[in-house]
Structure 1
Amino acid sequence: MCEVRRAALRMRTTRFFLPWAGSGVRMRATTMADGDRAEGASTESELEPLRFQRLWGEGHFEVPASERLGKCRSVKEFEKLNRIGEGTYGIVYRARDTVTDETVALKKVRMDNEKEGMPVSSLREITLLLELQHPNIVELKEVVVGNHLESIFLVMGYCEQDLASLLENMQTPFSEAQVKCIILQVLKGLQYLHERYIIHRDLKVSNLLMTDKGCVKIADFGLARTYGMPPQPMTPKVVTLWYRAPELLLGVTTQTTSIDMWAVGCILAELLAHKPLLPGTSEIHQIDLIVQLLGTPNENIWPGFSKLPLVSQYTLRKQPYNNLKHKFPWLSEAGLRLLNFLFMYDPKKRATAKDSLDSSYFKEKPLRKYIPPQPGLQCLASADLSLCLPSLRARAHAHLPPPSQQAGSQHQHGD
């Protein structure tokens, strides 16, 4: 695939098959950008030819500039209309496909260290999204490229709004019926992912997009991972702090879909309360907020709790009560049962996406209700989001380490 090929081209020692060189020709890749730029080489506005040194034998193979893009289209075929946001691993633009006249989201892959090529996180996101097709998961249409190897863009289905911006700007909060509509769609998307052994690992309101027809889509798969049995160690430094499960805060490195379900509980509670449920300012504060809400965990309700890696580093307050009912006194018994199920301390007992979809909460009144377009938020489609909604960027990135630190931590844990 072109995006994998282009990433591999940046690593001189990477072995791979080149479609240009004929079947089975294995070569070592170099480019003029690696220090071999000749005098009078191509300018910024031109495509550079690529040169490949053979892994064995002598000589080079050169890919003509006219064939350098392979099967990828050029980003020049897209007209950038405005910048609409910034995800964990790249800037996102609203753009027009000049060939089809379709409005799309154009995500420029961030290259923090261009010499090392495309970030592994972006390769993972591309690989996952190309395999996924579900109405509640953002669509990756194709990968397009710029003039140089480090210019890579993801063309994605365009959604008019994201949930964080709606919460920031709605004159009237979502009704409980509309909240049910949103959460049901999130759960359907998650069920699809989890059945394919994929953990999103960064669910939050700013990563939930909404079309003008009220369709909710899960987005930003930069931290997503596949998992298997036995589970492999992964970094616990994932999921934005406000939505991070207690087992992650206490240092567990074997992760399952249960961390996504905790985040769903936080999102459901946030939509019902019209404000974040657990807005911690540090990991210590986050754990304390969880204990205040749910009570102090122990071996009876969470077997193995006392042996978690970081338990000894915290002095948990003694809080014997679950305060969810006091937090949501108006919520039905079925709604409280669902929240408690999603907020189980023991990940093995926590609700799955299927469990949640079967909850009687979604079958009782008020029944889910269609979410109409939000005409007051047209600024999202016509203006720079960082100017229109300055608080959103801080919220979207709150308490996640920068990508470079995440990458280092992930490498340490083998993921």
Structure 2
Amino acid sequence: MEKYEKLAKIGEGSYSVVFKSRNKDTGQIVAIKKFMESEDNPFIKKIAVREIHMLKCIHRDVKPENILITKQGIIKLCDFGFARMLTSPGEDYTDYVATRWYRAPELLVGDTQYGAAVDIWAVGTVFAELVSGQALWPGKSDVDQIYLIIRTLGKLISRHEHVFRNNQFFLGVTIPEPDSEDMEPLEDKFPNINPHALAFMKSCLKMDPENRCSCEDLFENPYFDLYRDENEKSRQWLDGRNRKRQQLLPQLPGNNGSSAPDPRKQVRQQRLDHLPTI
């Protein structure tokens, strides 16, 4: 930590604080998470190792605050405090995870059997927020959140309705049913959006988690074709520019190259051209 200068606090969790910091040697701006308890605490060590080495996991708290982007345009996901390793199908997980606005329907109703599709849903809500500049469904409570989702995407699937009715937390609570004229599908929420962007959003925001796209599908989504083409053109342009610069540079003496002409020798030779050859 000695080689980093703290600039500002940018986030705080249950066990740690995230600081915007600067590398004193290189000037690079980075985000550093510092645990508030002693690093010798076994529980804190377990969390730290878990965050660093987590693979094949459900993040369960994808939201704008946990998505970082470098100057080189590399996206990085941070804060794996709610992450959980994927195990066998049917495994029970806790339902109290994720920030409400980005929480999938199965989490909102209290389903404990879910998978990576909860992160795909969160990606869809974050994407919508990037497009519009505001949260897609800013619910004030879990029930309000469910209502806002239903108002856009329609009814819950039967399994989620069953889980909601049998959840003790929602005992005596019913979800309001929006009138047909109050419905606001994604097409109405984003009337001027690029068709590929709308399709990308819809592929993430499916009520049934089984119908949501996979991470592999997201990478291949046509929405990114334009950016892939632009990146390829930029790479080709840079390659061509570098080749042109190499051609314009004078060749230095070497084993395989000829020496650049010495202008002093050329001038000296021109001055002696009038003398007879002996």
Say if 1:362 and 1:368, in contact at 8 Å, map to a contact too: no
Q: 1:109 to 1:245 in 2, by over 3 A?
A: same
Task: Report the Cα distance in structure 2 between the residues aligned to 1:319 and 1:366, rounded to whole angstroms.
Answer: 42
Q: 1:366 to 1:241 in 2, by over 3 A?
A: same
Task: Report the Cα distance in structure 2 between the residues aligned to 1:275 and 1:368, rounded to whole angstroms.
Answer: 27
| Structure 1: 5+ residue stretches without partners | 1-74, 133-195, 371-415
Say if 1:125 and 1:221, in contact at 8 Å, map to a contact too: no
Q: 1:335 aligns with which of 160, 177, 197?
A: 197
What is aligned with 2:6? Answer: 81
SS in 1 for 2:19: strand
Query: 5 Å matches for 1:11-410?
Result: 75=1, 77-88=2-13, 89-95=15-21, 104-111=30-37, 117-119=41-43, 123-129=46-52, 131=53, 196-299=55-158, 304-308=159-163, 309-310=166-167, 313-318=173-178, 323-363=185-225
> What are the superposed Cα offsets for residues 116-138 of structure 1, whole Å, 9 maximum, x if unpaired?
94546x62342341x36xxxxxx
Higher helix share: 2
Identical counterparts, % of pairs? 30
> What are the superposed Cα offsets for residues 75-116 of structure 1, whole Å, 9 maximum, x if unpaired?
5x34543233223231123446679987654322133xx7x9
Task: Report the Cα distance in structure 2 between the residues aligned to 1:102 and 1:93, rounded to whole angstroms.
Answer: 14
SS in 1 for 2:156: coil
What is aligned with 1:179? Answer: none
Q: 1:256 to 1:211 in 2, by over 3 A?
A: same
TM-score by length of 2: 0.69
Say if 1:295 and 1:319, in contact at 8 Å, map to a contact too: no
- Per-residue deviation, 1:335: 2.6
Identify which range, 91-100 or 331-340, moves more after superposition.
91-100
> What are the superposed Cα offsets for residues 195-242 of structure 1, whole Å, 9 maximum, x if unpaired?
x42111111111111222332211111111112103432221111111
Task: Report the Cα distance in structure 1 between the residues aligned to 2:76 and 2:227, rounded to whole angstroms.
Answer: 25
> What are the superposed Cα offsets for residues 146-189 of structure 1, whole Å, 9 maximum, x if unpaired?
xxxxxxxxxxxxxxxxxxxxxxxxxxxxxxxxxxxxxxxxxxxx
Task: Report the Cα distance in structure 2 between the residues aligned to 1:297 and 1:107, rounded to whole angstroms.
Answer: 38
Say if 2:68 and 2:76, in contact at 8 Å, map to a contact too: yes
SS in 1 for 2:6: strand
Q: 1:101 to 1:306 in 2, by over 3 A?
A: closer
- The RMSD of aligned alpha carbons is 3.2
Give the length in aligned residue pairs.
223
Say if 2:4 and 2:22, in contact at 8 Å, map to a contact too: yes
TM-score by length of 1: 0.48
SS in 2 for 1:81: strand
- Per-residue deviation, 1:369: 7.4
Say if 2:105 and 2:160, in contact at 8 Å, map to a contact too: no
Q: 1:224 to 1:316 in 2, by over 3 A?
A: same
Task: Report the Cα distance in structure 1 between the residues aligned to 2:36 and 2:112, rounded to whole angstroms.
Answer: 27
Say if 2:18 and 2:34, in contact at 8 Å, map to a contact too: yes
| Structure 2: 5+ residue stretches without partners | 233-278
SS in 1 for 2:210: coil
What is aligned with 2:261? Answer: none
Q: Which has the higher contact order (CA 8 A, sep 6+)?
A: 1
Task: Report the Cα distance in structure 2 between the residues aligned to 1:246 and 1:344, rounded to whole angstroms.
Answer: 9
Task: Give 1 or 2 for the bigger CA radius of gyration.
Answer: 2
